[in-house]
Structure 1
Amino acid sequence: MVKHTSLNFFSILITTIILSFIISNNNIIAVEIIKSSSSSSNTYFLGTNNNNNNHHTITPTKNKTSATSRGTHTHHSITKSQPSTSNLDEILRLAMVPGMVTWITDIRRTIHENPELAFEEYDTSALIRSELDLLEIPYMHPLAKTGIRASLGTGGPPFVALRADMDALPIQEAVEWEHKSKKDGKMHACGHDAHVAMLLGAAKILKSREHLLKGTVILLFQPAEEKGNGAKQMIEDGAIKDVEAIFAVHVSHQNPSGTICSRSGPLLAGCGFFRAVISADLGSPNGPQLRRADTVLAASAAVISLQGIVSREANPLDSQVVSVTLVDGGRQIGSVPGDVIIAGTFRAFSDMHNLLHRIQEVIKEQVKVFRCHATVDFFEKELTLYPPTINNDRMHEHVKKVAVDLLGPEKFRIVPPVMGAEDFSFYSKEIPAAFYYIGIRNEELGSIHCAHSPHFMVDEDVLPIGAATHASIAEEYLNEHG
């Protein structure tokens, strides 16, 4: 009891001295009131304005904390400190809403059931335009016969584009499932149905956030990627007018479902096609040949000699491919055909025109050895040389950053270049571009077969992820450049 009474006396004394000091000195801003009956304490804050005419305010710390936590300033400070993260979280949430997932999946399945070949995508184009009408997104049509250029946002710069291809392949589907192709000999065996669905999904997300866009997003739905000049014709028809950057995605069975994969620089090879008709010489003007030239032997020699272009002439550090994929000598088995056709493809990351020149030269000169001649066609009127697909360094870094922020670092991979080709390369040749993959490999589902296979499947769980990635890439690009 004595000890406690003594503590009270000294506490009162100390408090009195401090309060007296405060009265004479306005610079003191805090006072500790020590309660003799308890070990707890409260801190009080006083205003420090040196103007003696102003009243000092006293606010308990506890009350200030609770009031601030309910105020708007704390919310705004969090939003400003992490704008990208919160935007991306909201985009991903919108993509994963059950109704949204069902909508995207239904679009993909409808297109898959009704595949259309290059420049014949009339029903696919009509479906896309119908959905754009419902979303109240304006568009231009037709470009490149069936193509579409839609736009949303402010209508002013900057302009960023997202592209999806629409065409199917002349392949008979071998996958038995509810939504199998209804058209014999035609199949979406390269995932273009998924590409369209993901871009429409992105369009719906971006439309709901249109008031936040700091520029304009261009949506390109392109025909005839497989045939080789859909992108080129889209460009000729004004598809990328005012566009300063463009992005596209392709499904990939080589990477786990939901992963985003790409690389800076060369990603896909340039590509060309050739067709040679090898014919027997009719003989000299002095008389008929004693023995007819063997066109089959001449064609065989040409096929073998073509392999030497890569193995003996190409730089070993420069990947090149020359492949003969067709040999046609007719159906007669009792005589040598008058003509033999050989055809194929060639690919490289370097000078495609030099490779084209050597293919033509080797075929023509080789068949002369067997008293034949050849005409070589590179489909310059129907098809054209694909340039290599080169990812712009800055655009690749943008895709990488968005993918990591949206899905996490474990969901992004750097992949090596491959010898496949894409006519997206025509866009990347004109403006800064980035092409990336979204993994669809799911062994449990059976989504393991390569593109252009009759067994090709798509893990549909990636569709909303692709839509969110598309939308995020476009919106964040405008945030950075708008």
Structure 2
Amino acid sequence: MGRYPVTTSPDTAQRVLAGLDAALVQRLEALYRDLHAHPELSFEEHRTSTTVARRARELGYEVTEGVGRTGVVARLVNGRGPAVLLRADFDALPVTERTGLPYASTNRGVMHACGHDVHATCLLGAMALLAAARDEWSGTVLAVFQPAEELGQGARAMVDDNLYARFGTPDIVLGQHVMSIPTGTVACHPGLAFAATDALRVRMFGRGAHASMPEAAIDPVVMAASTVMRLQTVVSREIASKDRAVVTVGALQAGTKDNIIPDEAELQLNIRTHTPQVRATVLDAVERIVRGEAAAAGAPQDPEIGTMHTFPLMVNDEDACTRTMSAIGDVIGRDRLTDPGASSGSEDVGIFGTSADVPVCYWLLGGIDPDLYAKADAAGIRNRDIPQNHSPFFAPVMQPTLVIGVTALTAAALAWLGPAPYPTPPSA
């Protein structure tokens, strides 16, 4: 990274962004509606990857499909200079959409409820601008369309598929995530930005019987219910007030009929922590409670506790954030930049940086109508009236969300790419 000085200027960015005209915006809106209407689950993004790859080829990028199973890598080499990795995820969630949008999901039970369709659209928009303005910059644009972010597995799958050996190691990793904050704003927190996640599956075993004869049973439903309630004390009674953690039981499944006491129950837990020490404390407490409740109920078999997936802590490089946000602020206005603090959400984008030992700058993109947001906030009902990511009602407003997203990603890339023509870098 040290081979290349700060290079582009706000004037360069403005000239490149002049290509974001009405015709391009119209094409991006049509692409967004198409992606939103055809969501696909993690590692099943076949139509999405084909669509993205076709668009990238049309822009003149060198495109490789099937990286990390369903990922797409598009590369544009434009002379000597830094290599910038721009990342967008594109998987959807197992959610039935209830937005009422005219371009709502046509795949029942699957929805872009986390805005990954926004991410893919904005990246293709930035790629179009950079490809059309190659006389303004030099270096390499490495556009990475990542699968399976929702499982925390997609970034690792792409890296393990020899991402850097095949396409080169970048000097910086950049990306963004649309969130339920006012559209037109960009939010970035340097340092620890996103929490670690542990998703656990717990099976608790009882002894089935007829509902009329509970004395002949060991009821796993009661066992599981007691466990759920006891787990609520982990954060409130075992984590210091200065620390942060979240323990959520997202699923509880047991039984098939009202008059049958089942043999077992299954819990699915989602745990968010911000330090390795708190993570260890929470995981130990969860295991102790699960095993303790099973023992107290007289379970005939020890419970099974397994990991479904994990996300590492995501840390934004402070110097990289300063440089990147300065460039974004130059084009959208410094008054539109905010610091949201560390999030309890999780992201696997950091794996691209840690695997290459390069800095990461990852920011949040506003997607909610500002007036609606302000009214709900003033009334103290923001959490009730503003749908959050993963909600069946989550629906970012199309504009200016897409335009700001393309603008931010383009300006960020130019902050790290070199000017044209770029001089031969000094020898190491």
Q: TM-score, normalised by structure 1?
A: 0.76
Q: Counterpart in 2 of 1:460? A: 398
Task: Give the conservation status (yes or no) of the 8 Å contact 1:279–1:374.
Answer: yes
- 1:276 and 2:202 are equivalent in the alignment: yes
SS at 2:222 equivalent: helix
Query: Aligned-pair RMSD on alpha carbons?
Result: 2.4
Confirm or deny that 1:147 pairs with 2:71: yes
Q: CA deviation at 1:83?
A: 5.8
AA partner of residue 328 (structure 1): Q
> 2:255, 2:262 within 8 Å by CA — same for their partners in 1?
yes
SS at match of 2:259: coil
Preserved CA contact (<8 Å) 1:121 1:146: yes
Secondary structure of the corresponding residue to residue 64 of structure 2: strand
Structure possessing the higher radius of gyration over alpha carbons: 1
- Partner residue of 1:40? none
What SS does the corresponding residue of 1:180 show, helix, strand or coil?
A: coil
Work out whether residues 363 and 374 of structure 1, in 8 Å CA contact, stay in contact via their aligned partners in 2: no
* Equivalent position of 1:419 in the other structure: 344
For the residues of structure 1 that align with 2:137 and 2:302, how far apart are their CA atoms? 57
Partner Cα distance (2:23, 2:84) in 1: 27
For the pair 1:115 / 2:39, whether they are aligned, the reply is yes
Give the drift of 1:166. 0.8
Task: Output one character per residue of 1:273-332: Cα deviation in whole Å (capped at 9) or x when no partner.
Answer: 1111111279xxxxxxx8532323322222223223222222321101111122222133
Alpha-carbon shift at residue 178 of structure 1 (Å): 2.4
| Alignment-derived partner of residue 257 in structure 1 | 183
State the alpha-carbon separation in 2 of the partners of residues 214 and 450 from structure 1.
39
2:417 aligns to what? 478
SS of residue matched to 1:220: strand
Q: Please say if residues 442 and 448 of structure 1, whose CA atoms lie closer than 8 Å, have aligned partners that are also in contact.
A: no
In the other structure, the counterpart of 1:230 is 154
Give the percent of matched residue pairs that are identical in Structure 1 and Structure 2.
Answer: 27
Give the distance between the partners of 1:205 and 1:151, measured in 2 at CA: 14
C-alpha separation in 1, matches of 2:280 and 2:65 = 34
* Larger mean Cα displacement after TM superposition, 356-365 or 399-408: 356-365
The alignment status of 1:450 with 2:415, answered yes or no, reads no
Instruction: Tell me the SS of whatever aligns to 2:310.
Output: coil
**What are the equivalent positions in structure 2 for 1:384-399 lying under 5 Å apart?**
384-399=309-324
The secondary structure found in structure 1 opposite 2:418 is: helix
User: Are the counterparts in 2 of residues 153 and 210 from structure 1 also a CA contact under 8 Å?
Assistant: no
Q: Superposition pairs for residues 272-351 of structure 1, below 5 Å?
A: 272-280=198-206, 291-351=216-276
Change over 3 Å in CA distance of 1:183–1:83 after alignment to 2? closer
Aligned runs of 1:44-63 on 2, under 5 Å? none
1:410 paired residue number: 335
Match of 2:325 among 376, 391, 400: 400
What's the counterpart of residue 92 of structure 1? 17
Closer/same/farther in 2, CA of residues 121 and 445 from structure 1, 3 Å limit: farther
CA deviations 1:445-471 (Å, max 9, x no partner) are 899421111211122122122112112
Match of 2:172 among 245, 265, 277: 245
Match of 1:219 among 124, 135, 143: 143
* Structure 2 SS opposite 1:479: coil
1:177-200: per-residue Cα shift (whole Å, max 9, x none)? 321222211111111111111000
Q: Aligned partners of 1:198, 1:377: CA distance in 2, in Å?
A: 40
- Conserved in 2, the CA contact under 8 Å of 1:274 and 1:376? no
Shift of 1:365: 2.7
Task: Quote the offset at 1:428 in angstroms.
Answer: 4.2
On the 8 A contact 1:386/1:426 being kept in 2, the answer is no
CA distance in 1, matches of 2:70, 2:262: 41
Check 1:303–1:177 CA distance in 2 against 1; reply closer, same or farther (3 A cut).
closer
Return the alpha-carbon distance in structure 1 between the equivalents of residues 8 and 138 of structure 2.
14
Whether the 8 Å contact between 1:149 and 1:220 is mirrored in structure 2 is yes
The equivalent residue for 1:369 is 296
CA contact (8 A) 1:277 1:374 kept: no
Contact 1:360 1:376 (C-alpha < 8 Å) held by counterparts: no
Contact 2:207–2:264 at 8 Å: present in 1 too? no
SS at match of 2:18: helix
Gaps of 5+ in 2: 1-6, 209-214, 374-384
Letter in 2 for 1:470: L
Where 1:478 maps in the other structure, the secondary structure is: coil
| Contact in 2 for aligned 1:277/1:340 (Cα 8 Å) | yes
Partners in 1 of 2:305 and 2:108 — Cα distance? Answer: 30
Alpha-carbon separation, structure 2, partners of 1:310 and 1:428:
31
Aligned residues: 390
Letter in 1 for 2:294: V
**Alpha-carbon distance, 1:156 to partner:** 5.1
How far apart, CA to CA, are the structure 1 residues paired with 2:360 and 2:219?
Answer: 50
Q: Do the aligned partners of 1:173 and 1:455 also contact (CA within 8 Å) in 2?
A: yes
TM-score normalised per structure 2: 0.85
SS in 1 for 2:177: strand
Residues 232 and 156 of structure 1: CA distance in aligned 2, closer, same or farther (over 3 Å): farther
Q: Which has the higher contact order (CA 8 A, sep 6+)?
A: 2
Q: Which amino acid aligns with 1:329?
A: A
Query: How far apart, CA to CA, are the structure 2 residues paired with 1:448 and 1:386?
Result: 26
1:463/1:450 Cα in 2 relative to 1: closer, same or farther (>3 Å)? same
| Counterpart residue type for residue 263 of structure 1 | H
Partner AA of 1:92 in structure 2: L
Higher deviation after alignment, 268-277 or 297-306 = 297-306
Change (3 A) 1:129 1:155: farther
- Once residues 359 and 477 of structure 1 are traced to their aligned partners in structure 2, the CA distance between those partners, rounded to angstroms, is 44
Paired amino acid for 2:392: P
Answer yes or no: is the 8 Å Cα contact 1:269–1:387 preserved in 2.
yes
User: What are structure 1's unaligned runs of at least 5 residues?
Assistant: 1-81, 283-289
Verify the 8 A CA contact 2:199 2:271 in the aligned structure 1. yes
Cα offsets for 1:230-259 (capped at 9, x unmatched): 1111111133441231011111122x2111
SS of residue paired to 2:226: helix
The residue that corresponds to 1:70 in the other structure is: none
> Equivalent residue for 1:131?
55
Paired residue for 2:285?
A: 358
Equivalent pair of 2:86/2:174 in contact (CA under 8 Å): yes
